[in-house]
C-alpha cells in the first residue's frame, strides 16, 4: 500500500512517543476489510474505557478481531501488550515493540494459527521516520509469519508499524486471520486521538461512525444483487414485481434511487466510488436489503 507520505531520513531519530494510543487518548480507528481482494466492509474501533487488572491499567476495545469480544491492552515502555481475558493466570501477549532495531526478531501474539500455536515470528526489515499529518513518527517495516504452523516453513507477509498509530493493516492485526484460506485482508484508512486526525489514507477520509444504513428485512424471499462492468443486476424476491430501490454507502448516505416495475432492475453504478454499498428494496409487501461492492 502506498501512503503518499515522505520519508525524512532513514537514520533520523525522533523523541520517543508512546507506541500505541490508549483509552486516555480517546483513540479510534477505521479499517477497510477485503474479501477476495474486493472491499467488503468498514470496521470502526475505539477505546474510551480503561480498567485496573492484574496490578496494571489496561485500555479496553471490543470486537477487535475474529471471534474476539474484548481486548485488554497496555503500553510498557516502547512495547504494547494485550490479553484476552480478565483471568490473570492467562497469558499476556506482545502486540508491538517499537524499540526493536533492523534485524531484530520477536514473537507476537497470534490467534489464527494452529490451535497449539498462539504466537508467531516477526522480523524487523527496515526502520525510518515518516511525517504523518505534520508529525514525524518512527515506522518499522516488519515481516510476520501470517499463518504459523508446525509442519510448514514461515509464510511471511509485510506490515508497517507506525509509532503512536499501530499497523497500517489493522491496529489489532494479530487477532485477525491472514492465512490464505481466510481470503481476507485489511487496510487502515484513518486514526484519531483526542479527536485530532493522526492518520488518513486516502487524504480526507473520515473516521466518523457508520450510521443510518437501512439493513432491514421484513418480507419472505431474498434480494439478490450481481455486479459486472459497472452495472448491477438487482433480482427482486420471488413474487415481487415493483418497488423503490435505494443505494446507500456505509456512512448511511443515499447515493442512488430508482423505481422498478419488473422482477429485475439494472443499476448504473459506474459513477460510484469503489467500496461497499447497501442496496435496499421497499415495497408494499415488505423491505429487503443486500450488500454489494463497487469496483474501479
Nearest Cα neighbor of 138 from 162, 117, 173 is 162
Going by their DSSP bridges, the two strands 243-249 and 196-200 should be labelled as: unpaired
Question: Any idea which of 60-69, 98-107, 265-274 has the lowest mean pLDDT?
Answer: 60-69
Provide the 3-class DSSP secondary structure of residue 271: coil
- Give CA–CA dist 142/130, Å, rounded: 15
Q: Please say if the pLDDT value at position 115 is more than 70.
A: no
CATH-assigned architecture of domain 224-294: Sandwich (2.60)
Q: Which grid coordinates are listed for 135? A: 508529525
Contact between residue 237 and residue 220 where contact means Cβ atoms under 8 Å apart: yes
Rounded mean pLDDT, 225-246: 84
- Give CA–CA dist 236/107, Å, rounded: 51
Q: What's the whole-number average pLDDT of the chain?
A: 82
Question: Any idea which of 29-33, 137-141, 207-211 has the lowest mean pLDDT?
Answer: 207-211
Q: Which grid coordinates are listed for 89? A: 493466570
pLDDT tens for each residue of 2-14? 343 433 333 334 4
- Establish whether the linkage from the previous residue to 202 is cis, with ω within 30° of 0: yes
**Residues facing residue 53 across a β-bridge:** 56
- Give CA–CA dist 145/245, Å, rounded: 45
Reported as half-sphere exposure (CB side, CA atoms, 13 A), residue 247 has a value of 25
Q: Please say if the pLDDT value at position 107 is more than 60.
A: yes
- The ranges of the chain annotated as CATH 2.60.40.3080 are 224-294
The backbone torsions φ and ψ at residue 180, rounded to the nearest 5 degrees and listed phi first, read -60, -35
Rounded mean pLDDT, 107-112: 86
Q: Please say if the pLDDT value at position 217 is more than 60.
A: no
Split at pLDDT 50, 70, 90, the class of 173 is very high
Cα distances from 226 to residues 222, 231, 253, 294, in angstroms, run 13, 8, 21, 11
- Give CA–CA dist 111/167, Å, rounded: 16
- Give CA–CA dist 21/27, Å, rounded: 6
- Give CA–CA dist 135/241, Å, rounded: 56
Q: What percentage of the chain has pLDDT greater than the value 90?
A: 38
Rounded mean pLDDT, 212-236: 71
What are the strands of the beta sheet with 254-260, ordered from one edge?
A: 254-260, 243-249, 275-283, 286-294
Q: Please say if the pLDDT value at position 268 is more than 70.
A: yes
Contact between residue 201 and residue 131 where contact means Cβ atoms under 8 Å apart: no
Contact between residue 188 and residue 172 where contact means Cβ atoms under 8 Å apart: no
pTM of the model: 0.67
Per-residue pLDDT, 74: 98
Per-residue pLDDT, 7: 38
DSSP code at position 93: E
- Give CA–CA dist 149/116, Å, rounded: 9
Per-residue pLDDT, 56: 96
pLDDT tens for each residue of 50-100? 999 999 999 999 888 776 789 999 999 999 999 999 999 999 999 999 999
Question: Any idea which of 42-56, 66-80, 152-166, 219-233 has the lowest mean pLDDT?
Answer: 219-233
Residues contacting residue 225 through CB under 8 Å, at least 6 positions apart? 232, 233, 234, 235, 279, 290, 291, 292
For the ranges 54-58, 133-137, 186-190, the one whose mean pLDDT is highest: 54-58
Amino acid at each position: 500500500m502506498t501512503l503518499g507520505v515522505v520519508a525524512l531520513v532513514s537514520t533520523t531519530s525522533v523523541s520517543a512517543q508512546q507506541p500505541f494510543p490508549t483509552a486516555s487518548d480517546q483513540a479510534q480507528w477505521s479499517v477497510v476489510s477485503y474479501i477476495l481482494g474486493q472491499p467488503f466492509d468498514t470496521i470502526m474501533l475505539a477505546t474510551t474505557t480503561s480498567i485496573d487488572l492484574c496490578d496494571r491499567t489496561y485500555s479496553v476495545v471490543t470486537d477487535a478481531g475474529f471471534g474476539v469480544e474484548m481486548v485488554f491492552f497496555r503500553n510498557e515502555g516502547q512495547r504494547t501488550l494485550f490479553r484476552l481475558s480478565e483471568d490473570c493466570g492467562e497469558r499476556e501477549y506482545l502486540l508491538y515493540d517499537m524499540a526493536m532495531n533492523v534485524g531484530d526478531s520477536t514473537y507476537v501474539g497470534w490467534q489464527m494459527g494452529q490451535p497449539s500455536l498462539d504466537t508467531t515470528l516477526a522480523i524487523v526489515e527496515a526502520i525510518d521516520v515518516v511525517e504523518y499529518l505534520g508529525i514525524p513518527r518512527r515506522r518499522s517495516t516488519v515481516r510476520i509469519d501470517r499463518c504459523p504452523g508446525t509442519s510448514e516453513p514461515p509464510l511471511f507477509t509485510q506490515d508497517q508499524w507506525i509509532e503512536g498509530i499501530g499497523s497500517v493493516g489493522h491496529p489489532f492485526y494479530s487477532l485477525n486471520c491472514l492465512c490464505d484460506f481466510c481470503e481476507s485482508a485489511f487496510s487502515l484508512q484513518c486514526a484519531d486521538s483526542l479527536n485530532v486526525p493522526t492518520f488518513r489514507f486516502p487524504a480526507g477520509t473520515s473516521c466518523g461512525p457508520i450510521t443510518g444504513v437501512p439493513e432491514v428485512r421484513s418480507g419472505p424471499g431474498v434480494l439478490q444483487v450481481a455486479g459486472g462492468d459497472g452495472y448491477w443486476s438487482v433480482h427482486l424476491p420471488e413474487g415481487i414485481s415493483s418497488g423503490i430501490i435505494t443505494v446507500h454507502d456505509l456512512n448511511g448516505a443515499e447515493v442512488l434511487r430508482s423505481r422498478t416495475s419488473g422482477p429485475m432492475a439494472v443499476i448504473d453504478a459506474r459513477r460510484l466510488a469503489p467500496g461497499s454499498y447497501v442496496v435496499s428494496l421497499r415495497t408494499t409487501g415488505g423491505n429487503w436489503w443486500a450488500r454489494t461492492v463497487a469496483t474501479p
